[in-house]
Chains A and B, each alone.
Chain A
Amino acid sequence: MAEAVFEVHRYLPEQEAEPRFQEYEITYQDNWVVLDALNYIKDEIDSTLSFRWSCRMGICGSCGMMVNGEPKLTCESFVKEYDTETIKIEPLAHFPVIRDVVINMDDFMEKLPTVSPWLIPEEELPIEDGEFLQTPAQVAHYNRFSMCINCMLCYSACPVYGLDSSFTGPAALALAERYNLDSRDSGMGARADVITAHEGIWECTYVGECTEVCPKGVDPAGAIQMLKLSYALDWAKSLVMPRGSRS
């Protein structure tokens, strides 16, 4: 048992035009994560506080918030690991705020399908033909990019997205590369228009923070670099080889 002061971002547009911070002093147990503390505050101190959460085990991706300025899954961040005077809770950076620490994620949800994050096989085969088989090595090529839980922490860490929200962004591009690298997929050309647009890969300046904050080790920054190289080489090949012969 120990004491902690939470400084929580409040935004209640029906009652007040400007956001403010509200302090809550709580006594927490050693095994509490930040999300436990917020639930305690909502249950015992202030029921008007709004925030998103669901699974409490780092897989649903809905409890992302800025904790002391860093994008974090609050279900995975232990209160005892913060030794600051107050623990500051804010909504994920770069997204519009609906209320308190609840952000509007429409922009990300609209972007995600634009990179066609699904298998685009060379030809559709009838179900009777059975599965597309893969070796463990073929799985290993894309596996690390397939762990995304759409928590949007990477968007919150990315200043390029913060400056220009038309940027397709880390998670969506990493997922595009995940399918481009899949041996069952032939969609590199079909995804090209979105990926190679200015607001696709080319706007990324490799700040690299997306990779640092990813709770699942996806490495979107690396994925975008790989996309840049593969599409740039694809372009170079198109100069020497006739059009249409590209994969």
Chain B
Amino acid sequence: MGGAGMTSKPDRTAPLLWLLFAAGGTASAMLLPALVFLTGVAVPAGWVSEDRLRSLLGNPLTLLFLVGIVFAFLFHWAHRFRYALVDLGWSGLGRQGWVFYGIALAGTTLAALAALSNLD
């Protein structure tokens, strides 16, 4: 209450988190439907063989691309889901949302480690 009376402090982390959210939102808007089509329709329909998919997952370029996607997707989710919960009445997350970005960072690390082990 009475925010107007208080002196406002710039939120120093918000620009970075918002840029990550926006980048991930754009990446997922552009790529997600095609990716879901691949694993949800093309694979069950037999248009992609197991060997084809596995060889793609052994390709350094594919792996770099996928780790980048995981990073962008997770930070998009972290920011948007955090604020969706705020809008659903979980007001404490408005200022304390670190757990979401922590999960995003952990997931990206996991993807990067897995990608590195694929290259061996």
Shortest distance from the beta carbon of A32 to any chain B beta carbon, whole Å:
37
Whether the Cβ atoms of A232 and B3 lie closer than 8 Å is no
Shortest distance from the beta carbon of A230 to any chain B beta carbon, whole Å:
10
Give chain A residues whose Cβ lies under 8 Å from the Cβ of B14. 196, 198, 202
Known contacts A165-B1, A166-B1, A202 near B8 by CB under 8 Å: no
Whether the Cβ atoms of B15 and A232 lie closer than 8 Å is yes
Whether the Cβ atoms of A193 and B87 lie closer than 8 Å is no
In Å, the complex CA distance between A231 and B15 comes to: 7
Known contacts A203-B94, A228-B18, A236-B15, A165 near B10 by CB under 8 Å: no
Give chain B residues whose Cβ lies under 8 Å from the Cβ of A232. 15, 18-19, 22
Give chain B residues whose Cβ lies under 8 Å from the Cβ of A236. 15, 19
In Å, the complex CA distance between A199 and B7 comes to: 11
**Chain A residue, CB-CB nearest to B87:** A205
Residue in A111, A114, A199, A202 whose CB lies within 8 Å of B18: A202
Residue in B2, B11, B16 whose CB lies within 8 Å of A198: B11
Whether the Cβ atoms of A110 and B18 lie closer than 8 Å is no
In the assembled complex, B9 has its CB within 8 A of some CB on chain A = yes
Whether the Cβ atoms of A235 and B15 lie closer than 8 Å is yes
Whether the Cβ atoms of A198 and B94 lie closer than 8 Å is yes
Residue in A110, A164, A165, A200 whose CB lies within 8 Å of B8: A200
Give chain A residues whose Cβ lies under 8 Å from the Cβ of B62. none
Shortest distance from the beta carbon of B1 to any chain A beta carbon, whole Å:
6
Give chain A residues whose Cβ lies under 8 Å from the Cβ of B9. 193, 197-198
Interface string of A226-242 (1 = CB under 8 A from B): 00100110111000000
Whether the Cβ atoms of B84 and A205 lie closer than 8 Å is yes
Residue in A160, A168, A192 whose CB lies within 8 Å of B3: A168
Give chain B residues whose Cβ lies under 8 Å from the Cβ of A165. 1-3
Whether the Cβ atoms of A160 and B87 lie closer than 8 Å is yes
**Which 9 A-B pairs have CB atoms at the shortest separation, nearest pair first?**
A166-B3, A235-B15, A197-B8, A110-B4, A202-B14, A232-B15, A111-B4, A196-B10, A198-B11
List, sorted by A's number, 5 A–B pairs whose CB atoms are closer than 8 Å.
A107-B2, A164-B94, A196-B14, A200-B11, A231-B15
Hey, which bits of chain A sit against chain B, CB under 8 A?
A: 107, 110-111, 114, 159-160, 163-168, 192-194, 196-200, 202-203, 205, 207, 228, 231-232, 234-236
